[in-house]
A and B are shown apart, each in its own frame.
Chain A
Amino acid sequence: MAGDTQQTGSEYIQHHLTNLTFGHTEHGWGFAHNAEQAKEMGFMAINVDSLGWSIGLGLVFALLFRWAAKRASAGIPTGWQNFVEMMVEFVDGTVKDSFHGRNPWIAPMALTIFVWVFLMNTMDLIPVDVVPYLMGLAGVHFQKIVPSTDPNVTLGMALAVFVMIIYYSIKVKGIGGFLGELSLQPFSAKNPVVQAIFVPINLALELVGLLAKPFSLGLRLFGNMYAGEMIFILIAMMYGAGWILGTFGGVLQLGWAIFHILVITLQAFIFMVLTVVYLSMAHEDH
């Protein structure tokens, strides 16, 4: 907590923004004890908290929806099943609106993205100190419970989307068609010499466009959630500054949390829709 451990404000923030990282240190394999150590571990390390919460929430999604799917019948749906069917119908409608190809994987993927990202974002609403404090009592020093504030998580998903874009582009259009799409537009000419000059220009433009898709996808979610988390942390700092500021902080936190309900839903929806749109573009043959 902010007040009782004589942390400065920046230390408090830094602490909240450090993942529980498992990797190789000079003392062998283990958890990093501070942010610098985590940085030194380089690429061969795992953010145990991000991945743990992320997979845990994924399992929550999988099991809850599996439960409803098991009981799904043509009879009268009740309670949870109703909700799941509502979600399925909503996602199905959104996918049908923006995806015009025939691919049975797109809709389940969209549902997975929407619910999973929503659940990950929802962790943002838990007061920032609760889980890290409890974990601290158990001897774990770092804990970031919102997986979508970890760029590894959002970019990991975006990377998967990127892989799917490449895969379906090649599957639908063939290697030649895909490369042609990358190199023969937007500029083209009848004259072969001029066309040869245009090819590298086109390639540069299209590659940037192609790479921008997963990057913007991953960074948009990360940026929004990170900023939201940061504001929660800043508000939480007020609790250590006397009861007037503390009360004010409480009001602020409530307000921001209510506003954030909109943000987390919107971001989950945007991630889903953009993924569907990108894959729809990958399916379109010119």
Chain B
Amino acid sequence: MNINLTLFGQLISFLFFIWFCKKFVWTAIISAMEERQKKIADGLDAADRASRDLELAQEKATEQLKEAKHEAAAIIEQANKRASQIVDEAKQQAKTEGDRLKTAAQAEIDQEVNRAKEELRKRVATLALAGAEKILQANIDENVNRELVDNLAAQL
């Protein structure tokens, strides 16, 4: 219980331990802890960033998929349109061709008919002449009669 030099012994060792603690313990531990804190914060940041990136990528993928679907639909529609167009065109062509053929056939028929008529007319004329000759049994002026019969034939 006596106050003696122990007082100063303790004082000096106290100061020594404070110095030791500051110099060899505190700084090292605090800096390590701060470094770790920074590392963890960085890690969390990186994780956040990564998840954000992932979200973004997913969004982008979805968008691309949608776009692709859209495009595919458009292409199919276009193809359908084109197909129907082709069919229409073919129909049109066929119709035109048919019409043309029909017209040509009609023309030929007409021509044929005309020719047949012509032929008929000629034959009728001749036939009529011959008939008339036979009926009259006379020598009629062939030229005058012929003109008459030709006029008759033209009226047919």
Q: Which residues of A contact B (CB under 8 A)?
A: 17, 19, 21, 23, 38-39, 41-47, 50-51, 54-55, 58, 61-62, 65-66, 68-70, 72-75, 77, 84-85, 88-89, 92, 104-105, 107-109, 111-112, 116, 147, 150-153, 155-157, 159-160, 163
Contacts and interface: CB of A to CB of B under 8 A. Distances in A.
Interface of B: 1-11, 13-18, 20-22, 24-26, 28-33, 35-36, 38-39
Contacts of A44: 4-5
Contact of A159 (B7, B13, B24, B29): B7
Contacts of B31: 72
12 contacts: A21-B4, A46-B6, A51-B6, A51-B9, A65-B25, A66-B25, A74-B35, A85-B29, A108-B22, A112-B14, A152-B9, A156-B8
Contact of B21 (A23, A85, A111): A111
Contact of A47 (B4, B22, B33): B4
B39 A42 contact: no
Given A84-B29, A159-B7, A61 B17 contact: yes
Contacts of B7: 152, 155-156, 159
Contacts of A23: 4
A108 B14 contact: no
Contacts of B4: 21, 23, 41-47, 152
A8 B152 CA distance: 184
A132 to B, nearest CB: 17
Nearest to B8: A156
Contacts of A150: 6
B32 to A, nearest CB: 4
Contacts of B25: 62, 65-66, 68-69, 108, 111
A155 B30 contact: no
Given A45-B4, A69-B24, A88-B30, 15 more contacts: A23-B4, A43-B3, A55-B9, A62-B17, A66-B24, A73-B36, A74-B39, A85-B29, A108-B25, A109-B18, A112-B21, A156-B8, A156-B9, A156-B11, A159-B7
A10 to B, nearest CB: 15
Contacts of A157: 10-11, 14
A160 B24 contact: no
A84 B11 CA distance: 25
B119 to A, nearest CB: 119
Nearest to A112: B21
A50 B32 contact: no
B14 A160 contact: yes
A54 B21 contact: no
A69 B38 CA distance: 18
A50 B26 CA distance: 27
A11 to B, nearest CB: 16
A74 B36 contact: yes
A59 to B, nearest CB: 9
